[in-house]
Amino acid sequence: MKNIMIVEEDELERQFIKDIIKENYQRENLNVVEIQNGIDALSKARVFQPELVEMDIEVAGVNGLELQKEMLQIKPTIYTIWTSIYSNFDLLSQGLTYNIRGYLLKPYSKTQMMQHLDKFMMRKKKYTLSERYNKQFSEGINKAIQFIKKNFKQKTTIDDIANHVYLNPQYFARSLESV
């Protein structure tokens, strides 16, 4: 499950973002919470552990940069999208050093928000796919090692080992070079 936190003072803005998420990412396993101010965002983040935070830079109770620094203390891998009615590029450049992944100047369109949300969703999918691949690769290597241990006294070729783990021999040999 992906935890998403919307930190925005304006109720209509929060609802707009939540509707975009609901309408366009139904297949994702998402848990979305809405927060009205920075102080509540910090306390909720400690429990909720959001993977994505969409926040207004000037959210009530705290500066967006300070809030982001605190969020990173709670969850260092947090993916943050900032929104603002101000085009404060100094603050934005500072934010980039604190894992700010997107910036939208208000008013923004549904399409603009979706572009940023798509980047987050694809990032998570790529990570999941590579994680799954690494697990399968590790299992294949472990099976190969067990096969070699079991048959070390016999003449064993790369073809024999690759066949045992159901891989093409050339692919298996190249995979071993990268280990």
Burial of 130 (0-12, 13-18, 19+ CB in 10 A): exposed
How far from chain centre, in Å, is Cα 138?
23
Tokens of 51: 């993977």
Asked if 42 contacts 67 with a C-beta cutoff of 8 angstroms, the reply is yes
Distance CA 84, CA 107 (A): 8
Task: Determine the 3-state secondary structure of 25 from DSSP.
Answer: coil
pLDDT tens for 70-128 read 999 999 989 999 998 888 777 777 888 888 999 999 999 999 999 999 988 887 555 55
pLDDT higher than 60, residue 178:
no
Choice among 7-11, 14-18, 28-32 with the minimum mean pLDDT: 28-32
What DSSP character marks residue 94?
A: H
Which residue in 117, 116, 56 sits closest to 86, CA to CA?
A: 56
pLDDT higher than 60, residue 46:
yes
How far from chain centre, in Å, is Cα 125?
8
pTM for this model (two decimals): 0.68
pLDDT higher than 80, residue 176:
no
pLDDT tens for 116-163 read 999 888 875 555 545 555 666 677 777 888 888 888 888 888 888 888
